[in-house]
Amino acid sequence: MGKIDLHPNENIIKAALINNYAHINSKPFVVCSELTISEESKIVDLVFCKDNLSYAYEIKAWNDDMRRLPAQLDAYCKLFDYIYVATTANHLDQLQLIPDFVGIVLYSTKTKKIVYKRRAKKKSFNRQKRAFNVHSNFIYSE
C-alpha cells in the first residue's frame, strides 16, 4: 500500500476532482482551472461545464485559510448553477455555516478519492441576465 498523504494540497484535490468527474460522466464536458470571474479578481479553482450547466468548485486544502470563503461563495452564486466546496477533513466543521445550496465534497486521505458529503442545489436565476452563460455549442460531440 502506498504512502498516505495526510496534508493534501490544492493540486492533489483538483486532480482527484477532475478524475472523479471524468469517471462519472459519459457525456463530453469542459473544465476550466483558475477561472477569474469578477472585477475583484475572484478566482474559481475549478469549473465544469456540461449540458448547458456550470459547476464551480472552491478548493480548501489542508493548510488553506477559510476567511475568504463567504465572499467567494457570494460571487459564485451569481454566476454558476451549482457550487461546491471541496476540502479536507480538518475544515468540515467550519463548513456547517455555509448556505445550504452549496455542496460539500471531502477529499479522503485514506482512499485518495472524492466523497460527496452534501449535494449542491441548483441556483435559480434568469440566464439572460447572468454574466456567465455556458452554451452547449462550445462542447464538441459526435
| DSSP designation for 36 | E
Q: Which triple of cell numbers denotes residue 103?
A: 455542496
Average pLDDT over residues 62-76: 92
Average pLDDT over residues 42-66: 93
Contact between 57 and 76 under an 8 Å Cβ cutoff? The reply is no
Instruction: Please say if the pLDDT value at position 16 is more than 50.
Output: yes
pLDDT digits (tens, 9 = 90+) for 92-139: 999 988 999 999 999 998 899 999 999 999 987 655 545 444 443 443
Enter the pTM of the model. Answer: 0.84
Top-confidence range, 40-44, 53-57, 121-125: 53-57
CA 62 to mean position of chain CA atoms:
16
Average pLDDT over residues 77-105: 94
Q: What percent of the chain has pLDDT over 90?
A: 58
Give the DSSP H/E element, type plus range, for residue 19: helix 10-24
CA-CA distance, 133 to 44, in Å (whole number)? 15
Contact between 141 and 26 under an 8 Å Cβ cutoff? The reply is no
Three-state DSSP class for 73?
A: helix
